[in-house]
A and B are shown apart, each in its own frame.
Chain A
Amino acid sequence: MSIPNMLLGLLEREPSHGYELKREYDTYFGRGRPLPFGQVYSTLARLARDELVTPGEVEPGEGPDRKRYRITTAGKEELEGWLATPVEPEPHLQTVLFAKVVLSLMLGRPAERYLGAQRAAHLQRMRELTELRRGARVVDGLLADHAMFHLEADLRWIDLTETRLAQLAEVVAR
């Protein structure tokens, strides 16, 4: 998971306080594993250090978190690069794929193209494994098959998600 990039995505949607970011994160990506407050603030501090976000002035009021964070131009470029780059095809990456799709839809970016690029990356990996498997020893062949089945499962999810993008877009829209 790339929590810094996901927070950048939520901040591109709109400048937010740390607690708002945590709430949004937990709603869309937490799935029973809420993001600890400490991690939100430490991540925001690192993003600010790297000039990917800027903290606003401390706002008057109660509570510990009274700074509204805003994504910078460099932050937007970082986010764009992350969203546009297919994830390294490997088993168990569904959560990252899902986060990218949701953020793309939230930000009005072309989620279908992202999924298409991801499909191409997956198929490229399957091609490499197919080549490796041809003429391989049985052990190597079976290991390659194991990886192929996981990639196939991802591909089926990509296909399914593509057919549900409009529905998902409605859910994540404001």
Chain B
Amino acid sequence: MTAGVPSPAPVPGDGVVEARQVVRSFGTTPALRGADLRVGKGEIVAVMGPSGSGKSTLLHCLAGIFKPDRGEVWFEGRRLDQMSEDARSRLRRTAFGFVFQFGQLVPELTSADNVALPLLLNKVGRKKAYKEAGVWLARLGLGDKGGRRSGELSGGEAQRVALARALVIGPRVIFADEPTGSLDSFTGEAVMDLLVDNARAEGTTVVLVTHDARVAAFADREVMVRDGVVTDYQQVGASRSW
């Protein structure tokens, strides 16, 4: 895409989230050099790549956490990169769920508090918020852990609480950055099972950053990020144009 030429709006039903020629640097270090990615509704896409390839930066741009230096980020037909910080922040609270590798639970709060928190921030009544939190904790097999603080949970349990917190608002997109990175492979796969099952049941789109092929294998498809550019080798291989 040529810089400065306005892009046509995505066709309805096209990508739910989309990056178009996104460029993002940190100081003088370029992280993304024209990244393109389109993720459809209800699709689970793994973004793979070596350390430092730009895959996490891409996720942060798609989620409106980072603003791209150049290029466009679309969410449901709207330019996310042109929204105000307030509007992006509101979207992150109401439409996006996040699961990261570390440090996402507030340690002073119980599991139920942590899961209810996004609803409380969205002005849902306390009683309803805690009821919903209880439903999601039970759904993720933590019905008896609502009163525990994060320090009293195993790594896998804490990550399931984080997943419940991401799902409780009924997000349209879940952004997961190495969600099993701190877990052993067995526990990690159990978390992935829950993430995929619940996303499919709710029709939630998932953008999953991982360097782990076993985790990526839970997704519907994968793309590779290398040196800040996205390559979809499934399409390259299918076209056999080389």
Q: Is the CB of B214 within 8 A of A152?
A: yes
Please name 19 further chain A to chain B contacts, defined as beta carbons within 8 Å, in addition to the given A110-B242, A116-B236, A123-B222, sorted by A numbering.
A84-B240, A113-B233, A113-B236, A117-B233, A119-B233, A120-B222, A122-B213, A123-B216, A123-B217, A124-B234, A126-B213, A126-B216, A126-B217, A130-B214, A148-B214, A152-B213, A152-B214, A155-B213, A159-B50
Contacts of B214 in A (CB 8 A): 126, 130, 148, 152
Judged by a CB distance under 8 angstroms, whether B120 is at the interface is no
Judged by a CB distance under 8 angstroms, whether B198 is at the interface is no
Judged by a CB distance under 8 angstroms, whether B142 is at the interface is no
A residues 111-149 near B (Cβ < 8 Å) are 113-114, 116-117, 119-124, 126-127, 129-130, 134, 148
A152: min CB distance to chain B, Å = 6
A110: min CB distance to chain B, Å = 5
Q: Is the CB of A130 within 8 A of B218?
A: yes
Please tell me the number of chain B residues within 8 Å of chain A, measured between CB atoms: 18
Q: Is the CB of A116 within 8 A of B213?
A: no
Given contacts A84-B242, A113-B242, A130-B218, contact A123 B237 (CB under 8 A): no
- Bound complex: CA of A122 vs CA of B236, how far in Å? 15
Judged by a CB distance under 8 angstroms, whether A11 is at the interface is no
How many residue pairs bridge A and B at CB < 8 Å?
A: 52
Contacts of A6 in B (CB 8 A): none
Judged by a CB distance under 8 angstroms, whether B224 is at the interface is yes
A131: min CB distance to chain B, Å = 9
Contacts of B193 in A (CB 8 A): 134
Judged by a CB distance under 8 angstroms, whether B231 is at the interface is yes
B145: min CB distance to chain A, Å = 24
- Bound complex: CA of A114 vs CA of B242, how far in Å? 9
B residues 208-242 near A (Cβ < 8 Å) are 213-214, 216-220, 222, 224, 231, 233-234, 236-237, 240, 242
Contacts of A109 in B (CB 8 A): 242
Partner of B217, one of A121, A129, A159: A129
- Bound complex: CA of A110 vs CA of B231, how far in Å? 14
Q: Is the CB of B213 within 8 A of A123?
A: yes
Contacts of B213 in A (CB 8 A): 122-123, 126, 151-152, 155
- CB-nearest residue of chain A to B232: A120
Q: What are 10 A-B contacts with C-beta separation under 8 Å?
A: A116-B233, A119-B224, A120-B234, A126-B213, A126-B214, A126-B216, A127-B218, A152-B214, A155-B213, A159-B50
A133: min CB distance to chain B, Å = 9
